[in-house]
Amino acid sequence: MQGRSISRGIGTGELLISSEPISFLSGVDPETGIVVERGHPLEGQSIAGRVLAFPYGKGSTVGSYVIYALKQNGLAPAAIINEEAEAIIAVGAIIAGIPMVDRLPPEFSDLPAGATVTVNGDTGEISGDGDS
């Protein structure tokens, strides 16, 4: 599948999908990699080493630095996929060296959570094994 490249690099991991936006400031613990935002669909789950797909980011610009802190702590996602990238998440991915793409075709939604996917931030391509 072809999307738009936001941050360079290649990352592979288990697909973790949220239908809701994510705030990295106070929504994700940079010391554990766990989503801590109360009531969020991913509350209690680790994003570490996974391909994190969510519509867009929300919250403070400090969220970019939380993404960077996750990377420094070895707890960052392997890659990020957004429906539409915005500055907070894009800057975080770029400064942390996390591959990121957005604007994927509708068939992306056919990939099941838990599938192994590879995000190529250099070309904007996503490939998956389709297995859960």
Largest CA distance in the chain: 36
Nearest to 58 by CA among 78, 79, 82: 82
Q: Please tell me which residue in 60, 64, 109, 127 is annotated as part of the active site.
A: 60
**Phi-psi bin for 120: left (phi > 0), alpha (psi -120 to 50), beta?**
beta
5 annotated active-site: no
Supply the angle between the helices 87-96 and 63-72 in degrees, to the nearest 10. Answer: 20
| Residues identified as active-site | 60
